[in-house]
Every structure is written in C-alpha cells, then in structure tokens.
Amino acid sequence: MKKGFPKIVAAIDVGSNFLRMMIAEISKEGKIVPLDDVFKPTRIGRDTFASGEISLQSVRELCDTLKGFRRLMSDYHIKEYRALATSGIREAYNRLYVLEQIRVRANLDVEVINNAEERFIMLKALRDGLSDVPQMRQEGILVVNIGMGALEASIYNQGALQFSEHIKAGSLRLREILADLERSTLDFPSIVEEFVESKIYLLEPVIKPMNIKNVIGLGGELNSILSLCQQEQLSKEEKYLPAQALHRLYTKIRSMTIEQLIAGYNLHRNEAEILLPSLIIFKRFLEFTAAKGIHVPMIALRHGILADMVDDWFDTQRKYDFAGDIISSVWYIGRKFKLDENHAAHVANLALSIFDQTRMFHKLGVRERMYLQVAAILHDIGKFINLTQHEKHASNIIRYQEIIGLSKRDLNIIANISRYHSEKVPTFNDSRFRILKDDDKTMVSKLAAILKLADAMDITHKQKIKMVQVSNSRGRLEFHFFNSEEVLLEAWNFESHCDFFEEVMGIRPLIKYNEAKRCPLLL
C-alpha cells in the first residue's frame, strides 16, 4: 500500500472535437474508481485541420470550458491532475499562444503529446477495458484507434506488439480535407472510401496474411456507433459490434445529410460529422481480417491517462508489459531498415550488462536504461541508407520515427546516443547535441560511452565475446571477457574507446588479459 492514498485526481483530454475530464479516486492498491465524467464540444480541430491555426473565438471558448473544469476540480479538492492535448493543438501554428492562454486564464498546465505517446496511453487503457485482452494478445489482435486527426493500427500476436503504424487520416481531418468535394458530388461516401483507401492500402498486404480473428476499435466515436447499432435489437450489455450490424448502419446512413443524422439519431453535430468517415475506416480495416466483428471496450484517452498516473505511483504489471511493447515496436522499426538482428541483440545485451554492473559510477535509472537499449538495437540502421557516416543517418532516422510511448525529447536523446556509438564523441559543434538540456547532455555522454564499449566488443558481428563481467579494482574497472575464440580485434577496438569512458565516468576500463576466460558453456 502507498502512503497518501486514496487520493482524488483528474484526467483531462483536450481533444480536437471534445474536451473531456474524468475525476477518479485512486485506492491504496492502485485501483481506479471513476467519480465524475464531463465533456463539452470544441471547434479547435476544425480550425486546425482547415486553416492551420485555432481562432481567437475558439480559444476563448476553450479557456471558458477549462475554467469550468478547474472549478469542478476545486470542488473535489484535487491537487494532482494531468491534462493532455492531441492533434488539434499539436498541429496548430499558434499552439504556444493557445497553451499560454490556457495556463493564464484557466490555471491549467496542458502537455502536448505526440502520436506515439497518445497511442501508448490508449493501449494502456485497453488493458483494463476488456477482461480477455491478455488471451487476445496471444491469439492475435488488430487494434484500430481512430482519432480526430489521425488513425493508428497496432497488431499484437503471441503476447507481444508486432507493429504499430500511424496514418494522418483521422475522422475529423477527413471531413475537413474533403469539405469542398462534399459540396461538389452526390456520392460523397465513395469519395471518402477512395481517399481512405489511398492512405491505408499498403497495410492490407501486411495485415491480411496474419489472419487476425480479433479486432478492437478505439475512438472514432465508436461508442456512439455501437449505441446506434443497439437500437437495432443488439444487446445493451454487449461490448461487441458484429460486422453485419456495422454494414447495415453504414448502408443506412451513407445517403443521409448531417442535419438528417442529427435529427434522426439525436446526435450532437460534432458526433454526426465524423460518423461516416469513422464507419468507413472501421469497415475497411475489418475487411483486412478474419474477424466477425469489433470489440468495443468503451474506453478513451482519459482512461489511459489515469492508468498512466497509476503506473507512475505503483509497481504494476501493466508497466512491465508496456515496457516490452516499446521494445517490440523498436525491433519492428529496425527490421524495416534491414538491421543485423544478431549483432543488434548482442550489442544491446552487452550494453545493458555493462550498465547494470557500473551503476555506482553513472547513477542512472530505469528510464535511462531503456534509452540505452533502444539506441543499441537501432545504432546500425543508418547502414540501410549509406555505409559512410551510418551513425549520422541512424540518428536522423531515429529522430523522425514515432516509437510507441516515446516523446520527442526521448527520441532526441536516443538519436544522440546512437550518433556517438562509433568514433565520434559528443561535441558542442553538433547542433543536435548542443540543444539538449545540460542534464540530458551528461546522460547522453554516459550512455554513449557504454554503447561504444558494447559495440566495440562485437566489431566483427560474430558474437565472439559471449558475456562480460565488470569489477572495480583499485580505481580501475576490470572487464573480464568470456570469449570462445581470438578477440584481438575486439580488444583493440574496445581500448580505443576507453579514454572517452574514463573522461565521462571518472574511471578507466581495463581488459584483464591475464584472467581472460572462455565461456563455460563452450569448454
């Protein structure tokens, strides 16, 4: 049990189409008990996707709504909250001014997250939304998350995240992009279908051969879609949307106007406008699989925010599961760039072993260990572009990836670690290193020093050094290699990086030649 619990907290989703806040109690065991759930429509997504910036009127309405949220938080005496903004604010040219207005007028600090972080938080919510998710992860799941600005498709198989892709084709963005065409045609649904197909067609040959039998839908006002289908005699308790019901609803509404949808189904305009694009996207992804319907877990970003807060405070199993998902998605990226998997895995294992055995010198933690692992896996992917200056190409590739659960800052740190895995050392002449905060510069240098040694120990890509033991002896770090054959080249390369390690860590690595050992398994 944790001290200070139970406590009441708030999770705020500053979305593109709706502003939502969930207030919940976190128990002493880390259980989430919802107490209040409020929402209000917003126009910030329409402004951003249509013109690139949020209008002053929308900013005023946004701040007024969030001030109301703040008053409700005061009524509950809430001191801890997390407020996240997604694509509606993230892609706006005037986002800095909007965030400052929120801070000043509503007394709320809002954090803008990237697509990969949003996807990660949603997947955290998913674990608690359906009881049989762990079994589905083994069998194979396609998770389709439709946001207002983008959609994400993720596949789990054999318990691990196999891949996760982000596409800028969210339901509200589609409606805004194709607004002019909607006024110019009598068959707008066909236009939307063709446009969606142009965005996702490359995923079909990847997903279809997997024969996925479980599809989970998130976002896209899927709860509203399920409710409309339940009006056609589906069970009110069912969190499952059969494919036939989805097709029936699509056939019924494809010729209806927004006004007809609002009047006929008692929908808010914001819901009615994204209904058609969402149905088309869910329908098309369902056709990529062998599933007979879509599981609807009734969760949203605010549920994931609460789960993420709990993971920060408690040692949950979910935390470990999703750490594995991050690494699984990193391997997926590496394979796209044809990395040498045996070398990457071996360097990562050696790097983590050195990290764990030298904690008293670097004083870094779990998050930094994960940075090192990701950088070690991806350090050579630049060779896909060019063998010359491959470390520079690797750094650029990493910086512009969307790795699930990693922020822009995280990616910049990992990109810099990878940048310096070879001959180069961190320098203020490198603008990408120079812009890091001072603490991050020091951390990058420590992790790069470790990665240099690990990569040097497999310079031949033959995994000759099976493992390493590190001991502190009279002010020097003695590295005992467990090798199966001659490692003269590896030792020479290792020694070439000892100066930098000593400069950063304050202690010099030394290969203990006279105690070199063979791996016991190979004797």
pLDDT digits (tens, 9 = 90+) for 22-72: 999 999 999 999 999 999 999 999 999 989 999 999 999 999 999 999 999
What are the φ/ψ torsions at residue 254 (nearest 5 degrees)?
-65, -25
pLDDT digits (tens, 9 = 90+) for 329-364: 899 899 999 999 999 999 999 999 999 999 999 999
Class of 337-522 per CATH? mainly alpha
Question: Quick one: pLDDT at residue 1?
Answer: 52
Count Cβ atoms within 10 A of the Cβ of residue 431 and give its class: 0-12 exposed, 13-18 middle, 19 or more buried: exposed
- What is the value of pTM for the model shown? 0.79
Question: 368: closest CA among 424, 410, 317?
Answer: 410
Q: Which residues pair with 37 in a beta bridge?
A: 22
Tokens standing for residue 364:
């870094």
Question: Quick one: pLDDT at residue 513?
Answer: 57
Residue ranges of the chain assigned to CATH 3.30.420.40: 7-113
pLDDT digits (tens, 9 = 90+) for 441-486: 999 999 999 999 999 999 999 999 999 999 987 778 999 999 878 8
Distance (Å, whole) CA 425 – CA 448 = 8
Residue ranges of the chain assigned to CATH 3.30.420.150: 116-303
Percent of the chain with pLDDT over 70: 96
Q: 3-class DSSP state for residue 407? A: coil
Question: Quick one: pLDDT at residue 105?
Answer: 96
Min mean pLDDT across 54-63, 146-155, 338-347, 497-506 is at 146-155
Other Cβ atoms less than 10 A from the Cβ of 403: the count is: 23
The CATH code of domain 7-113 reads: 3.30.420.40
The label of the residue with tokens 């080249």 reads: 489
Residue ranges of the chain assigned to CATH 1.10.3210.10: 337-522
Long-range CB contact pairs, 335-342, < 8 A, 24+: 337/381, 337/384, 337/397, 338/384, 339/377, 339/378, 339/380, 339/381, 339/384, 340/380, 340/461, 342/461, 342/463
Distance (Å, whole) CA 468 – CA 519 = 10
For 204-258, give the DSSP string.
HHHHGGG---EEEEEETTHHHHHHHHHTTT--TT--EEEHHHHHHHHHHHTT--H
pLDDT digits (tens, 9 = 90+) for 58-107: 999 999 999 999 999 999 999 999 999 999 999 999 999 999 999 999 99
Instruction: Tell me the HSE value of 243 on the side-chain side, using a 13 A CA sphere.
Output: 14
Cis bond before residue 41 (omega within 30° of 0): no
Query: pLDDT grade, residue 238 (50/70/90)?
Result: low
Other Cβ atoms less than 10 A from the Cβ of 340: the count is: 15
Min mean pLDDT across 41-45, 88-92, 163-167, 196-200 is at 163-167
Q: Is the pLDDT of residue 21 over 70?
A: yes
Query: pLDDT grade, residue 298 (50/70/90)?
Result: confident
pLDDT digits (tens, 9 = 90+) for 419-437: 999 888 888 888 888 888 9
**What fold does the segment set 116-303 form as a domain?**
Nucleotidyltransferase; domain 5 (3.30.420)
Q: 3-class DSSP state for residue 157? A: strand
Question: Quick one: pLDDT at residue 337?
Answer: 93
Q: 3-class DSSP state for residue 58? A: helix
Other Cβ atoms less than 10 A from the Cβ of 185: the count is: 11
pLDDT digits (tens, 9 = 90+) for 376-416: 999 999 999 998 889 899 999 999 888 888 999 999 999 99
